[in-house]
Chain A
Amino acid sequence: MRIVIAEDDALLREGLALLLRAEGLDVVATAGDPDAFLAAVDRYGPDVAIVDVRMPPTHADEGIVAAVEARRRRPELAVLVLSAYVEQMFATELLAGGARGLGYLLKERVGRVEEFLAALHRVAAGGTAIDPDVVAQLFARTRPDSRLERLSPRERDVLALMAEGLGNVAIAERLFVSEGAVHKHIRSIFHKLDMAPDDRSDRRVAAVLRYLDGRERAR
């Protein structure tokens, strides 16, 4: 897996590179600003880009813009966006073109190395990684939703992990249940929420997020 890191904070950039290299991953280039990042993507043709949202010159959403541009130039590039705080708008913007090979995580998740590496590998393999906080925010919107109310607590757990981008096996591991049980929960969820079942996880994530996000829009 060939990785490019775009992060303007030098200490964090080097820390990330050090961590990934220690795990035997191939960090081919690091960049401190959007232009250098895009140049590195063009030059090295990486598989995955890890991109900070806030980058020079204005430290607003230059990272998101650069990530979208990198995807336009190299559609097969997987992008994992790191953010200082959860901003629903960034997630929505990023996922506008589908959830395939995309991740949006809070920066501090990197410290939980195993989970971070799992997310990185998932994204690199065309999957999705959405930060639990983003999912929690989507759930926390208080408008009573009769359909969500119908879900059992366990089904809500499964829905949340699905929204994060986890596959059936990973969900089963996380909840200490069998894969068959997860499968059953998922079928039940899709039925209760009136959604077409889909086994491919990225499409599934997109559908779940759309559902949760759409709930917000309809308000």
Chain B
Amino acid sequence: MEATQIRRLAGEARGSTGRALRDLVGGLGTAALALGVLLWLALVAAAGLIGIGLALVPSAARALHAVADLERARLSRRGAEVLSPGPPPGRWRAVLTDPATRRELRWLIRHATAGLLLGVLGIQLPVWAVRDGTFALWWRLIPEGGRTPGLGLWTVHDWPGVVTVSLLGVCWAVLTVGLSPALARWQAAPGRRLLAPGPGTDLSLRIAELTATRAAALDAHATELRRIERSLHDGTQNRLVATTVLLGAARRMLTRDPAEAEVLLERAQSAAEQALAELRAVARGILPPVLADRGLAGALSGLAAACAVPCRIEVDVPGRCAAAVEATAYFVVAEALTNIAKHSGATRAEVAVRGSDTMLRLRITDDGRGGADEARGSGLVGIRRRIGALDGGLTVTSPPGGPTTLEVELPCGS
């Protein structure tokens, strides 16, 4: 019991540290850009003092908005969506007084300085942890003068010194695990606060955007309904009609030729059974019952367990998505795994599901022979249609010889 708990805690720590480090690296990237833009802005301001800078104000403002938008997109990908306050004003006079631009400027200064330092520190910690933690393995290989711990404070001459450095490595590792999430949070905080629309911002653009996405959602809903209607009318109903046709024929045959009537009844029964099977498939296609019972992670694990090819599933989704999104994700994975088992010749498959508040991302990989081609009527067409109905995206990478990767993006929530 305790061992499993420890393992679970260790797994969680590894997950949160990994996420935090990825955040810090991404933040470091935008911070470096921010520093560049900040220097450019300083240059423009200095040029403004001698009169020639005014012409450069719009381009400088554009650069500011561009880097701010990058950070918004990054923060939205990694957590709650950061809304854009709308397009900046076009004239330079308005630019200088625009409150959203001023907020972006305040963010720029913080992110280019503190954000950059936090990013560097966040990356330095694990580097030191690895360096000092493994110091004992390689300290003899380097020249004496270079035998120092990561911080370079003193030179190591003997084994007790090596042990000290190793202990220092352990400290760095503990700090990495303990501090990284907080560092990532601190790094993201100014962006989350200052890049979102300030109080009193005109939200008409946001409303227009929401109206558009809502219309798209309704469209997707209609497409989905059409798909269901079609599978009921063209599949199930046809099976049932065939059943009645065969039954009718059998009744007429009953007196004339009982043996032939028996054959017809047999066919009628199998047509009715097909109708049932299709009805089940339609119902499952609308909302797989297992999703409601087990949630997405549980349902996908069930799929992986049932797959003929050994399959590893990794689900990292905070909370639950809209039912239609989960159903589509489930369907996509089911189809993809069926494809893999049938066509790829793969020996193993991997499904990774990652979710944020706004997007559910699936990545399905196998080590098979590749060469999957949508034109040749595989399950990919159905997958694409399902994803399209939710306004999502599908990227298939499948060079001949493999491996095949399906990358799926499904907008969810808002």
List residues of A whose CB falls within 8 A of some B CB: 8-9, 11-12, 15-16, 18-19, 22-23, 54, 59, 84-85, 107-108, 110-113, 116
Dominant SS at the A interface?
Answer: helix
Q: Could you list some 22 contacts between A and B, CB below 8 A? A: A9-B242, A11-B239, A11-B271, A11-B274, A12-B241, A15-B242, A16-B245, A18-B246, A19-B248, A22-B253, A54-B233, A84-B237, A84-B238, A85-B233, A107-B238, A107-B241, A108-B241, A108-B244, A110-B244, A110-B245, A111-B241, A111-B248
- Contact check, A59 vs B249: say whether CB atoms are below 8 A apart: no
Question: Provided the pairs A11-B271, A12-B242 are in contact, do residues A59 and B230 lie with their beta carbons within 8 angstroms?
Answer: yes
Cβ distance B256 to chain A, nearest Cβ, rounded Å: 9
Enumerate chain A residues within 8 angstroms of B240, measured Cβ to Cβ.
108
Nearest first, the 3 closest Cβ-Cβ pairs linking A and B are: A111-B244, A113-B248, A9-B238
CA distance A170 to B183 in the complex (A): 88
Considering only CB atoms and an 8 Å cut-off, how many residues of chain B contact the other chain? 24
How many angstroms from the CA of A15 to the CA of B264 in the assembled complex? Answer: 9
- Chain B residue numbers with a CB within 8 Å of A16 are 245
Cβ of B234: which chain A residues have Cβ within 8 Å of it? 8-9, 54, 59, 84
- 16 further A-B contacts with Cβ under 8 Å, apart from A9-B234, A11-B274, A15-B267, are A11-B239, A12-B238, A12-B241, A12-B242, A19-B246, A22-B253, A23-B252, A54-B233, A54-B234, A84-B237, A84-B238, A110-B241, A110-B248, A111-B247, A111-B248, A113-B249
The interface residues of chain A lying within 8 Å CB-to-CB of B237 are 84, 107
Q: How far is the CA of A12 from the CA of B236 in the complex (A)?
A: 11
* A22 nearest CB neighbor, chain B only: B249
User: Given A11, A18, A23, A84, which contacts B233 in the complex, CB threshold below 8 Å?
Assistant: A84
A-B residue pair count with CB separations less than 8 angstroms: 63
- Within 193-244 of B, Cβ neighbours of A (below 8 Å) are at 230, 233-234, 237-244
Contacts of A108 in B (CB 8 A): 240-241, 244
Interface mask (B69-112 → A, CB under 8 Å = 1, otherwise 0): 00000000000000000000000000000000000000000000
User: What are the residues of chain A within 8 A of B253 when measuring CB–CB?
Assistant: 22
Complex alpha-carbon distance, A19 and B243, angstroms: 12
Contacts of A54 in B (CB 8 A): 233-234
User: Is B251 in the interface zone, CB < 8 Å from A?
Assistant: yes
Tell me which residues across on chain A come within 8 A of B248, comparing CB atoms. 19, 110-113, 116
Q: What is the CB-to-nearest-CB distance from B345 to chain A, in angstroms, rounded to a whole number?
A: 30
- Nearest B residue to A23 via CB reads B252
Q: How far is the CB of B354 from chain A (nearest CB, A)?
A: 36
**Nearest Cβ distance between residue B382 and chain A, in whole angstroms?**
15
The smallest beta-carbon distance between A172 and chain B, in angstroms, is: 24
Separation of A107 and B271 alpha carbons in the complex (Å): 15
Q: How far is the CB of A68 from chain B (nearest CB, A)?
A: 21
Q: Inside 8 A of B244's CB, which chain A residues have their CB?
A: 108, 110-111
Q: Shortest CB–CB separation between residue A101 and chain B, in angstroms?
A: 23
A15/B252 in contact, CB under 8 A: no
Whether the Cβ atoms of B245 and A111 lie closer than 8 Å is yes
> Which residues does chain A contribute within 8 Å of B260, judged by CB atoms?
22
User: Within the complex, what minimum Cβ distance (angstroms) separates B248 from chain A?
Assistant: 4
Q: Are B249 and A18 in contact (CB under 8 A)?
A: yes
A82 CB, nearest partner CB in chain B, Å: 8
CA of A59 to CA of B245 in the docked complex: distance in angstroms? Answer: 22
Query: Which residues from chain B contact A12 at a C-beta distance below 8 Å?
Result: 238, 241-242, 245
Bound state CA distance, A197 and B243, in angstroms?
A: 42
